[in-house]
Structure 1
Amino acid sequence: MPLQTNATGEIFQGNDPAHPNPEQVLEFLRQSLISNGWTGQVSPAERAVGSRGVKFLANISKAGTAYTLEIFVFRNLAWAHRRDSEKRIQLTEDYDHHADEFQRAYDGNRYCLLLGIYAPSPDEVVFCAWKPSGYLEHANPTSCYTTVEVIRDAYLFGFGSTLDKKQRRTYAFRPNFFHYYISNISRLHSEGAIGDPPDEPEEDADQAPRLSGGSNIIRYGAPGTGKSYAIDQEIEGHRNFRTVFHPTLEQSDFFGSLKPVVVDEKVLYRFTPGPFCLALADAVNNPTQRVNLIIEELNRGPAAAIFGDIFLLLDRQSNGSGVYDIASPSPEFTQWFETTTGSIDGRVRMPSNLWLLATMNSADQGVFPLDTAFRRRWAQVYEPLNFDQAPEISFNVAIQGGGSNEVPWRVLAVEINAILTQRLMIAEDRLLGPWFVKAEDRNADGSIPGKVLLYLWDDVLRHHGREEIFSSDVHTYGELVLFMLEGRPILSNGLLLRLAERVVDAGPAALGADIAGRRIGADPAEAQKDPVAPPPEAQ
Structure 2
Amino acid sequence: MNIYLRKILKHDITHQISVTKEVLNGFFGVYEEKEAAIMRGKKSGYLGTVTFLLSTDPRFGGDIKQIINAEGGIQVDDILLFVKEKDSYVVEVISTSDERHSTFISVMNIERHLVINIDDEIVDGGFISGDSVEYAAYEESRIPKGRNILLYGVPGSGKSWTIQHEYCTPKTHVERLVFHPDYTYSDFVGQILPNVAEDGQISYKFTPGPFTSILRDAYADPEGDYVLIIEEINRGNAPAIFGEVFQLLDRKVEIKEHDDEFPIGTSEYGITNPNIANVVYGNPNQKVRIPSNLSIIGTMNTSDQNVFTLDTAFQRRWEMRLIENNFDTVDLKLADAYILDTTVTWRNFCTTINDIVIGNSTRMTSSEDKRLGAYFVHVSDLIFDEKMGNLSDGIYDELRNKENTGSIVIAEYNRLREIRQAMQQNRKFPEKVIKYLWDDAFKFNRESVFEVTQYQSLEAVIKAFLWNTGNDRFTIFKETIRNAFTENT
- Please report the TM-score for the alignment, with normalisation by the length of structure 2: 0.55
Is 2:246 the counterpart of 1:311? yes
- Name which of 428, 431, 439 aligns with 1:450: 431
Measured at CA, do residues 306 and 204 of structure 1 come closer, stay the same or move farther in structure 2, by a change above 3 Å? closer
Structure 1 residues 270 and 291, CA, compared in 2 at 3 Å: closer, same or farther?
A: same
8 Å CA contact 1:468, 1:494 repeated in 2: no
**Distance in 2 between residues matched to 1:432 and 1:502, nearest whole Å:** 19
Question: How many angstroms apart in 2 are the aligned matches of 1:481 and 1:202?
Answer: 68
Q: Say which structure is richer in strand.
A: 1
Specify which of 409, 415, 421 is matched with residue 358 of structure 2.
421
Aligned to 1:469: 449
Partner of 1:359: 299
How far does residue 202 in structure 1 lie from its aligned partner after superposition? 7.2
User: What does 1:155-166 correspond to in 2, within 5 Å?
Assistant: none
Q: Deviations over 1:282-325 (max 9, x none)?
A: 11111111211100001011111111111111111111111111
| Change over 3 Å in CA distance of 1:414–1:270 after alignment to 2 | same
Which of 320, 326, 335 is the matching residue for 2:265?
320
Alignment partner of 1:437 is 2:437: no
SS of corresponding position for 1:381: strand
Structure of greater Rg? 2
CA offset digits 1:135-164 (Å, max 9, x no partner):
xxxxxxxxxxxxxxxxxxxxxxxxxxxxxx
Counterpart among 229, 233, 253 of residue 298 in structure 1:
233
Q: Is the 8 A contact 1:242 1:295 kept in 2?
A: yes
> Does structure 1 conserve the Cα–Cα contact (< 8 Å) formed by 2:193 and 2:205?
yes
SS of match in other structure, 1:272 = strand
Where do residues 102-251 of structure 1 align in structure 2 (5 Å cutoff)?
A: 204=135, 207=138, 209-233=141-165, 234-236=167-169, 237-251=171-185
Which of 499, 514, 535 does residue 485 from structure 2 map onto? 499
The structure with higher relative contact order (CA 8 Å, sep 6+) is 2
How far off its partner does 1:247 sit?
A: 0.6
- Evaluate the alpha carbon distance shift between residue 206 and residue 441 of structure 1 in structure 2; reply closer, same or farther with a 3 A threshold: same
1:412 matched to 2:349: yes
Distance 2:280 2:485 in 1: 60
Distance 1:202-1:419 versus aligned 2 partners, 3 A rule: farther
Shift of 1:348: 1.2
Residue in structure 2 matched with residue 63 of structure 1 by the alignment: none
Higher helix share: 2
What's the counterpart of residue 485 of structure 1?
466
Tell me the secondary structure at the aligned position of residue 451 of structure 1: helix
Distance 1:344 1:494 in 2: 68
What whole-Å deviation, never above 9, does each CA across 1:232-284 have from its counterpart, x for those lacking one? 12222211111101011111111111124444366543211111111111111
Aligned partners of 1:283 and 1:415: how far apart in 2? Answer: 46
Deviations 1:3-24 (A, max 9, x none): xxxxxxxxxxxxxxxxxxxxxx
Indicate if the aligned counterparts of 1:224 and 1:436 stay in contact, CA closer than 8 A: yes
Contact 2:352–2:484 under 8 Å retained in 1: yes
Three-state SS of the structure 2 residue aligned to 1:259 is strand
Aligned counterparts of 1:202 and 1:432: Cα–Cα separation in 2: 54
- Per-residue Cα deviation, 1:491-521 (whole angstroms, up to 9, x for no partner): 2222112123223xxxxxxxxxxxxxxxxxx
CA distance in 2 between counterparts of 1:361 and 1:212 reads 29
One-letter amino acid of the structure 2 residue matched with residue 435 of structure 1: Y
The 2-side partners of 1:202 and 1:225 are apart by: 47
Q: Does 1:370 align with 2:310?
A: yes
Q: How many angstroms apart in 2 are the aligned matches of 1:269 and 1:442? A: 52
The residue correspondences of 1:73-88 to structure 2 (distance < 5 A) are: none
For residues 432 and 240 of structure 1, the distance between their equivalents in structure 2, rounded to whole angstroms, comes to 28
Partner SS for 2:271: strand
The answer (yes or no) to whether the contact 1:240–1:294 under 8 Å persists in 2 is yes
Between the aligned partners of 2:281 and 2:430, the Cα distance in structure 1 is: 49
Determine the C-alpha separation between the residues in 2 that align with 1:460 and 1:266: 58
- Classify the secondary structure of the residue corresponding to 2:375: coil
Contact 2:208 2:279 (8 Å CA) reproduced: no
3-state DSSP of counterpart to 2:339: strand
Distance 1:205 1:468, change over 3 A: closer
Q: How far off is 1:213 after superposition?
A: 2.1
- Whether the 8 Å CA contact 1:293–1:355 is kept in 2: the answer is yes
Amino acid at match of 1:244: V
Show structure 2 runs of 5+ residues with no match. 1-131, 254-263, 386-425
CA deviation after TM superposition for structure 1 residue 432, in Å: 1.0
Question: Is 1:259–2:239 an aligned residue pair?
Answer: no
CA contact (8 A) 2:267 2:290 kept: yes
Q: How many residues align?
A: 291
Change (3 A) 1:340 1:311: closer
Say if 2:205 is the partner of 1:270: yes
Q: Tell me: CA distance 1:419–1:492, structure 2 relative to 1, closer, same or farther (3 Å).
A: same
Deviation track 1:174-202 (CA, whole Å, cap 9, x = no partner) reads xxxxxxxxxxxxxxxxxxxxxxxxxxx87
Asked if the contact 2:212/2:280 (under 8 Å) is kept, the reply is no
Query: Closer, same or farther in 2 for the Cα pair 1:465/1:326, shift >3 Å?
Result: same
Report the Cα distance in structure 1 between the residues aligned to 2:194 and 2:368, rounded to whole angstroms.
47
1:393-404 matches, cutoff 5 A? 393-396=337-340
Aligned CA RMSD, in angstroms, stands at 2.4
Alpha-carbon separation, structure 2, partners of 1:267 and 1:485: 61
Q: Separation in 2 of the partners of 1:227 and 1:221?
A: 7
Q: Distance in 2 between matches of 1:311 and 1:377?
A: 9
- 1:203: Cα distance to partner? 5.4
Q: Cα–Cα, structure 1 residues 438 and 286, in superposed 2: closer, same or farther, change >3 Å?
A: same
- Deviation digits for residues 369-408 of structure 1 (CA, Å, limit 9, x no counterpart): 1100100110011110222333231114xxxxxxx74200
- Distance between the aligned counterparts of 1:313 and 1:384, measured in 2? 29
Equivalent residue number for residue 286 of structure 1: 221
Percent sequence identity is 39
- Contact 2:239 2:314 (8 Å CA) reproduced: yes
